Amino acid sequence: MADSKQHHFSRGDVISRRYEIERELGSGLVGATYLARHISTGKPICLKVLRAGMVDDAPDRERYESAFARIRAIDQAGLIKLEEVGYHEGAAYFTEEYFESQNLRQLIDEYQAEQRSFTLQEACQIATNVLDAVAGLHDAEVVHRNLKPENVLVQSRRTGPGGKNIVRTVKVTDGGLAEMIRPQVFAQTYINRSEARYLAPEMGGFDQAGSPSADIYSVGVMLYELLVGQPPRGTYLSPTQLRGDLPEHIDDVVELALGANPEDRYPSARDMINDIQRSFSGEMEDVRTGPNIKRIAIAVGAGLAVLGLAGAYLETRETPDPVEDMRIADDQLRRAVAARTQTPTDEELRTKTEAHPEMLYIPNGPFVMGRLNQEDVTRVASRSEPIATEVTVGGFYIDRFEFPNRLQDKDGKPVRPVAKASWTEADNACRELGKRLCTEQEWEKACKGPANWIYSYGDSYDEEMCGRGIEATYNLGDAESCVSGYGVMGMSGGPREWTGSVSGQKGNRRVVKGGLRANNGRGSRCAFAVDESIGYADATLSFRCCLDDDAAPATPAPGSEPTQGDAPE
């Protein structure tokens, strides 16, 4: 394994009698970066000193210097410009332009600390600038292979009256560094680092050459992180599932950039740029089938435009209705599940509800969990959502309404659902009443009802049934038609609701069901889900409680009478 010892320099040190060190800017994968001053010109420069062992023999030096000269010749404004290569006291180094800025990781951390989100325009502008720089590398047949927020430099300046507008200049650093250093040396230090989450799936190690599509994948990860605040992991939720203010087409852009196979991604960086730019001008094409299929479709369309007879023939054919085909498949699944569902008798239900009159009983048995086929075809769902499957849930009780689950307060006034509740507060509130938060499966089953509808009231979105969701305020019980087949109120309207189900592997996030700002047609579906940190709370977050089938009648602790919180705005 290569010696990872780092050469260190201090302020005032002179390198090769040409550069004077001013301060260290940071340390990265291959060495340390310093701000230095060119002694003869006074010009500030960046000086990168490689770790010992990176370039330690004649073949390494030849590779290093040859690749440096080739990368230096690339004329691309979005790339940090290389200047000189040299050696000092056995340490290999090179210089490049000094670009006063912060890296994208620092900017992301700054936004998160201030609880701000990048706007769609901000995120896409940064992504397209990175793609433009990467396109310059690809034109020279160079793959970056190490694109991540730390290697994207962002210079921000305020303009306009009162400095209200922010103009950003973006540059990519370390372009071509993978060409300059022996790949095996990179692989030994890279593959176990956290930055590997930006590495394309086919890049099993950093010693692989990769293709331009690997860089496109890396940009896709960064775009996703800019939009939702965290990089995608495993079977990730689409951006619109996590942010209701985003247009649906951004899901397509991300989905195509993050294709599992290189051939499923954009053919080039410029193709991704064009797709992002078209999305802002309303010219977004349906790219879900991937670039190869899209090109074939364009070619076939052009051919039919020329061959009038073929066009006339196609117009007379009976065209299948994909939505209808999906509905048939969905209904077959729902009928099969219904056939295995045992419905309690009226007497059994009456006995159950007498024990917990403020709750409803949901019987043991299977239901259809996840998005139905028709939800994907009609574009109310994303393909990243889990597809419908049969799931069996034990019997349980669920509150009729959102917390505090009553229609009047002690003075006889209408009650709004409690909001601005963190998961911890919601969990504690249910426990104080001798209950618990519902699981994700329980919540969705109660919403879908015995018929397994898409919404609590049916398969088609109808604003008249449950209103405008979290965009509107209401009192508990106001929307009498907003009721599921099990009698549960408000599940396709009103605030988002915490569940007790853990999301991810860290254990500090929980699944949230129902509600989506600015897209209630998507977010009020019973299958829709996002996740939030357990300490997060906003005006759209509420909850309701559940109980196990065999739970004894709840006896609230003294002083645990729930208080009304803020209503969703």
Sequence-distant contacts of 332-340: CB under 8 A, at least 24 apart: 333/368, 333/372, 333/388, 333/390, 334/368, 334/451, 334/452, 336/390, 337/366, 337/367, 337/368, 337/390, 337/452, 338/450, 338/451, 338/452, 340/365, 340/366
Q: Which residue has the tokens 């999906």?
A: 326
SS3 173: coil
Count of CB atoms within 10 A of residue 452's CB?
28
Q: What is the pLDDT of residue 353?
A: 79
What is the reported pLDDT for 226? 96
Residue ranges of the chain assigned to CATH 1.10.510.10: 103-288
Residue 555's Cβ-count burial label (10 Å; 0-12, 13-18, 19+) is exposed
The segments of the chain whose pLDDT lies below 50 read 1-4, 190-194, 282-319, 556-569
131 Cβ partners below 8 Å, 6+ apart? 216, 219, 269, 270, 272, 273
What does the pLDDT read at residue 302?
30
Can you give the length of the chain in residues? 569
Per-residue b or e along 32-41, where b marks 16 or more CB atoms closer than 10 Å to that residue's CB: bbbbbbbeee
**Structure confidence by residue, pLDDT tens digits, 232-260:** 887 788 898 888 888 888 999 999 999 98
Q: How far apart are CA 432 and CA 422, in angstroms?
A: 15
- Please report, as a single letter, which amino acid is at residue 490: G
The answer to whether the beta carbons of residues 21 and 10 sit under 8 Å apart is yes
What does the pLDDT look like over 180-206, one tens digit per residue?
A: 876 666 555 544 444 578 888 887 655
Backbone angles phi, psi at 542, to 5 degrees: -135, -160
pTM: 0.52
Phi, psi of 159 (to 5 degrees): -135, 175
Q: In whole angstroms, what is the distance from residue 147 CA to residue 165 CA?
A: 28
Residue 392's nearest CA partner among 361, 362, 435 is 362
Cβ distance 43 to 60 under 8 Å? Answer: no
Tokens of 288: 């879900």
Q: Please report how many Cα atoms fall inside a 13 Å half-sphere around the Cα of residue 319, on the Cβ side.
A: 7
pLDDT at res. 299? 29
What CATH architecture is 103-288? Orthogonal Bundle (1.10)
Q: Give CATH 3.90.1580.10 domain extents, the chain.
A: 322-548
Cα 354 to Cα 289, 348, 359, 360, 414: the distances in Å are: 53, 10, 9, 10, 25
- Three-state secondary-structure class, residue 103: strand
pLDDT the model gives residue 434: 94
Cα dihedral: 136, 137, 140, 146 (round 10): -170
Alpha-carbon torsion (385, 390, 396, 400), positive or negative: positive
> CA 396, 401, 407, 408 torsion: positive or negative?
positive
What CATH number has the domain spanning 14-97? 3.30.200.20
Q: What CATH number has the domain spanning 322-548?
A: 3.90.1580.10
